[in-house]
Structure 1
Amino acid sequence: MEITLQYFDGCPNWTKADELLQVLARENPSLEVRTQRIATPAEADASSFYGSPSFLIDGRPLFELPDSTPGLACRVYRTPSGLAGSPTLEQLRAAIDAAGRFDR
Structure 2
Amino acid sequence: MRITVLAVPQCPNAPVVQARISAALQGRYASVDLVEVADQDQAALTGMTGSPTVLIDGVDPFAVPGAPPSVSCRLYRGADGRVEGSPSVEDLRRALASARVR
- TM-score interval, normalised by the smaller of the two chains: 0.7 to 0.9
Q: Secondary structure at the match of 2:49?
A: coil
Aligned partners of 1:66, 1:92: CA distance in 2, in Å? 19
**Identity value in percent:** 31
* Structure 1 stretches of 4+ moved >3 Å: none
Counterpart contact for 1:25–1:33, Cα < 8 Å: no
User: For residues 32 and 3 of structure 1, do their structure 2 counterparts lie closer, same or farther at Cα, with a shift above 3 Å needed?
Assistant: same
The number of aligned residues is 100
TM-score, structure 1 as length reference: 0.86
How much has 1:25 moved relative to structure 2?
4.3
The answer for the alignment partner of 2:46 in structure 1 is: 47
TM-score, structure 2 as length reference: 0.87
The answer for the alignment partner of 2:8 in structure 1 is: 8
Unaligned runs of at least 5 residues, structure 2: none
How much has 1:57 moved relative to structure 2?
1.1
